[in-house]
Amino acid sequence: MLASKTYWKEWFTGLTKSFLSIKIPKLLLLAASDRMDKDLTIAQMQGKFKLSVVKDVGHIIHEDNPKAAADVIKDFINLFKILPLTSDMKPIVGKLGGTVKKARKYIEYDDK
């Protein structure tokens, strides 16, 4: 893990801006809120995303406390009534190349 240390700062460059630019409901799951930058803190106070803090976990929240992580995600899905995927929904390709499926309710598709 320490072999990748020289790239750590680069991984997070522009991440806040990218996160806040997403136009669908967002959830930020953290181990502690004191690590948010100024822009995230302001956006959270403005209600631009849902923040959930899971206590007594490390960097890998979903492995350290899978039940708490799953409960937070389930509550978020229920809160925003995110629809389950159906056969008429088109997959889109995410920025990192993987297939991402989104509910039609939140994504406008270009049929071209």
pLDDT in tens, 2-43: 788 887 777 778 889 999 999 888 999 999 877 788 999 999
Count: domains in the chain? 2
Residue 83: pLDDT over 90: no
Q: Is the dihedral of CA 53, 12, 14, 36 positive or negative?
A: positive
Query: Is 69 inside a domain boundary?
Result: yes
The pTM (predicted TM-score) of the whole model is 0.63
Nearest-angstrom CA–CA distance, 77 and 66: 16
Q: Verify that 41 and 92 share a domain, yes or no.
A: no
pLDDT of residue 88: 64
Q: Verify that 75 and 89 share a domain, yes or no.
A: no
Confidence of residue 107 (pLDDT cuts 50, 70, 90): very low
pLDDT in tens, 60-78: 899 999 999 999 998 888 8
Q: Verify that 75 and 93 share a domain, yes or no.
A: no
Residue with more model confidence, 18 or 107: 18
Query: Is 4 inside a domain boundary?
Result: no
Q: Verify that 57 and 39 share a domain, yes or no.
A: yes
Query: Is 8 inside a domain boundary?
Result: no
Residue range of the domain that includes 94: 85-112
Q: Verify that 63 and 45 share a domain, yes or no.
A: yes
